[in-house]
Chains A and B, each alone.
Chain A
Amino acid sequence: MTLIDTRTPDPKRFIAGTTDDWEIIIGLEVHAQVTSKSKLFSGASTEFGAEPNANVSLVDAAMPGMLPVINEECVAQAVRTGLGLNAQINLRSVFDRKNYFYPDLPQGYQISQFKDPIVGEGIVTVSVGPDKQGNFEDIEIGVERLHLEQDAGKSMHDQHPTMSFVDLNRTGVALMEIVSKPDLRSADEAKAYITKLRTILRYLGTCDGNMDEGSMRADVNVSVRKPGGDFGTRCEIKNVNSIRFIGQAIESEARRQIAILEDGGTIDQETRLFDPAKGETRSMRSKEDAHDYRYFPDPDLLPLEFSQAYVDQLKSDLPELPDAKRSRFIGEGLSAYDASILVSEKAIADFFEQVAEGRDSKTAANWVINNLLGKLNETSQEIEDTPVSPDQVGGIIDLIKEGTISGKIAKDLFDIIWEEGGDPAEIVESRGMKQVTDTGAIEAAVDEVIAANPDKAEQAKEKPNLAGWFVGQVMKASGGKANPQAVQELVKQKLGIE
């Protein structure tokens, strides 16, 4: 493949070495496990966490005479993903064998796609930021290709003093390898790219994106160069399994390469591993030791062919994707910042939309972002774990709007519902949280506070700002239940400031 530089060197992305500024060039090969009930070429289950070797068919175990049969759902998932990446869908693609020996690869070859992948070039728009000024920058990252391939099994070397064990449950599970162009220029960009990719896959329902369970992992290609110069020699960091580690691996690998180059050395093309404990990469094998995989078309499988009508059908059934959703939210009056946060996960966007149904979008967005997401973040939980439903949040907003409760009380109400559940209106009723709008009662409270603080009342005539202090005192005295607007008006009236 010919490398084309699509990005303009920008000093804000340069990193300083001892003598020079450097630019990092990054490309990611993301392996995303296809969401499907059964494996790519066999009927065995893909369920995570089963007993070792429970999900193994005769095909997965590579028994003599076994043949692969393509799982049509996996093909559909790859096409959906390609469409989600705005990519070229190839109506004809070919499965090849990648040959190498390893105990967790029973066939002695991985069925993959080499020359003719199912999906060609595409584009992912990534929002990087916010920077110190709170701004986001949208960049376009090219996708080189997406192909389908089999996952390998798992070798376990810690189960027996002299022997290794093999678990074939993962063997043959469908993966999509999504290869980016070398368009990324910083660790932050790489992290934003894979985050966006994960969001898109989750929206599509084609990969669950659970990096903890190995559903998504990345090979990271890193090289450095003088800004705008020729591409340097790259190193590939294999199998990095968290977004944070991807960032760390890039930073440390770039530093390592810069140090070598500034010392007058050269970079050897090699495969490296990232050690999260040490926060650095180490050599795994050099180019000379690279396998010769002897790719050739798998003669057990006919070329994979489908019609444009099939692609069109899948396209028409696609859900709304994050970029489109974000534009729509902005159109509905949200800030770009709020819209970006809400679309970052489909579940959050869905939650928001249920809350916003028939209500003010901006208010709904504030509640979801500040209260719900804030609380989830505080308690280290995911949106899927929320104990508060969209109806409950909506109910709280309605009570504020009706003037039944104040904003402050609403926050308490939210906390009660978070802990105990229940209907917002009923809780307000039963616990006497209703806002006091009875002017007589408020008036009495205002009088009481003014009477108790004659000096301050006198001063307030000169300094109208002091009215706020009186409002606070009255609110405090009412246990927060007094209608703040009514209090404000009465305080001003009684103090004689208009």
Chain B
Amino acid sequence: MSELISLTIAEAREKLVAGDITSVELTDAYLAAIDAANETFNAYITVTGDKAREMAKASDRRRAKGEVGVLEGIPLGIKDLFATRGVHTQACSHILDNFKPEYESTVTQNLWDDGAVMLGKLNMDEFAMGSSNETSYYGPVKNPWREAGSNSALVPGGSSGGSAASVAAHLCAGATATDTGGSIRQPAAFTGTVGIKPTYGRCSRWGIAAFASSLDQAGPIARDVRDVAIMLQSMASVDEKDTTSVDRPVPEYEACIGKSVKGMKIGVPKEYRIDGMPDDIEAVWQQGIEWYRDAGAEIVDISLPHTKYALPTYYIVAPAEASSNLARYDGVRYGLRKTGNDITDMYEQTRAKGFGDEVRRRILIGTYVLSSGYYDAYYLRAQKVRTLIKRDFENVFADGVDAILTPATPSSAFAIGDEEMASDPVKMYLNDIFTVTVNMAGLPGISVPAGLDSKGLPLGLQLIGKPFAEEELFQASHIIEQAAGKFTPEKWW
């Protein structure tokens, strides 16, 4: 059984095609693994065993008839932010209590149309607001990685903590995730998995509970570059229900894996070398540069001068949009309702009880920066800075740079309940320092594991590409994967 769950998507696909295994067997193996380990990790908040077996059976029947989609029979976990018809969809928030949508998000529908099997819904930070999966109404997720010689629980990162942990612990073959400021790439880096945030508009946002509409993008987390490429191929599509989705053919992403990077120009931005950056991070970044040089790529020093403004700007734009996007959770039509003396009291009671601290904090910040008298100083100025950040990237790409190499995170995974982070939200926000610029500019970014730090924890490198240059990111990140090898936590559960 455990052999089955250690297969990558590509490997499982091969065995399914050869008839060595069935989707039902593969699905049962994952369900058994979830059953055995989920209590430890708290990665799944709902396991849809019956549905999974049904979908697996249907997949095997299709395969018998010769109908084989790109993810035929592959069991996946779905972040709770995605609407799944008739299945728990709460963005891991109390305020959406008992919400089961009558609709299916475009991204998950694409996956099912390509033959994938749903194992269940994955834990996440409430409404995708957090970098440690500790803001979930369903409690924190444990990272399958632990420091060498320690039994202390670490965070898997966030907000897609359940996605990253379940992939790393082999509780699914791959998972959907979303990324507004780093929510795919940071947890991927913390768990030794691969995650890509595609170009804004590459995946439809329809049916994904909105956090910050101009920044949100869906993407996959999986065990290696090839698996992520296979998943994104299915997830990506133009969608008439999301007018910000882009009408561009989806390339065969997998085909570019293994292509040489000879002559490719890799930019290394000086602004990402921040004060107090751990030596291990510095070292793994340097190592990445060497690997590219060895592979025949040209390394160029570049400057992205507005980088230092990215994080504060992000923490104006994202909460502003969130404060408006989350207004619909008002206790009137669905989800939690706390009765009050009148309508205003009902709103206040419901929203005070329904939202956690971090979500409330961001709603307050967002409401503040949009309010009369502050709008120009905060929101409007932030939009201007956002344009400058975007221009930084455009200038670099115009100078011939093909991809930009940076660390994915400023640290490796930290402890659940880390006091420093808990006492100062800004410390937590700093987790996104290398990733938010990519969302601000709408670019694709991939996080790929590149080594272990001195504590034995995985570290990721990030590659940032031109708009819709996901292929080049797969091509380039495969170089790191080849050189660094893959990282699997030692099983202790």
Contact = CB atoms under 8 A, between A and B. Distances in A.
Interface string B71-96: 00000000000110000010100001
A166 B334 CA distance: 13
A99 interface: yes
A106 B101 CA distance: 16
B105 interface: yes
A107 interface: yes
Given A64-B89, A106-B332, A108-B324, A296 B206 contact: no
Interface stretch (A18-26, A298-306, A427-435): A298-306
A16 to B, nearest CB: 40
Interface stretch (A55-63, A232-240, A477-485): A55-63
Interface in B313-359: 320-321, 323-324, 326-328, 330, 332-334, 343-344, 347
A63 to B, nearest CB: 7
Interface residues of A, number: 30
Given A62-B328, A106-B332, A67 B205 contact: yes
Interface stretch (B112-120, B182-190, B364-372): B364-372
A183 B243 CA distance: 40
Contacts of B103: 58, 63
Nearest to B101: A63
Give the dominant DSSP class at A's interface: loop
Given A64-B99, A65-B105, A300-B244, A101 B371 contact: no
B324 A69 contact: no
Contact of A62 (B83, B320, B333, B375): B333
A2 B205 CA distance: 41
B105 A108 contact: no
B209 interface: yes
Nearest to A293: B372
B97 to A, nearest CB: 13
Interface in A292-351: 292, 294-296, 298-302
Contact of A65 (B102, B207, B244, B372): B207
B393 interface: no
A67 B241 contact: yes
B324 A302 contact: no
Interface string B285-318: 0000000000000000000000000000000000
B109 to A, nearest CB: 12
Interface residues of B, number: 44
Contacts of B321: 296, 299
B243 A302 contact: yes
A103 interface: yes
Nearest to B240: A69
A58 B371 CA distance: 29
Interface string A445-487: 0000000000000000000000000000000000000000000
A301 B379 CA distance: 18
Given A63-B334, A103-B332, A299 B243 contact: no
A99 B89 contact: no
Interface string B374-399: 01000100000000000000000000
Contacts of A103: 330, 332, 343
A67 B206 contact: yes
B96 A300 contact: no
Given A108-B324, A294-B367, A65 B243 contact: no
A164 B375 CA distance: 35
A296 B327 contact: no
A109 interface: yes
B159 to A, nearest CB: 16
Given A63-B101, A101-B347, A302 B91 contact: no
A64 B96 contact: yes
B416 interface: no
Contacts of B379: 296
A70 B243 CA distance: 9
Nearest to B342: A164
Interface in A85-137: 97, 99, 101, 103, 106-109
Contact of B327 (A58, A109, A164): A109
A66 interface: yes
A280 B344 CA distance: 29
B320 A296 contact: yes
B241 to A, nearest CB: 6
Given A64-B83, A66-B206, A294-B371, A108 B101 contact: no
A299 B367 CA distance: 16
B111 interface: no
26 contacts: A63-B83, A63-B334, A64-B89, A64-B91, A64-B99, A65-B101, A67-B243, A68-B243, A97-B324, A101-B327, A106-B328, A106-B333, A108-B324, A108-B330, A109-B324, A109-B327, A164-B343, A292-B372, A294-B323, A294-B324, A294-B370, A296-B320, A296-B375, A299-B213, A300-B244, A301-B244
Given A64-B89, A64-B101, A101-B347, 7 more contacts: A65-B208, A65-B210, A103-B332, A108-B324, A108-B327, A108-B328, A299-B321
3 A-B pairs closest in CB distance: A108-B327, A299-B213, A299-B214
Interface of A: 58, 61-70, 97, 99, 101, 103, 106-109, 164, 166, 292, 294-296, 298-302
Interface of B: 82-83, 89, 91, 96, 99, 101-103, 105, 205-210, 212-214, 240-244, 320-321, 323-324, 326-328, 330, 332-334, 343-344, 347, 367, 370-372, 375, 379
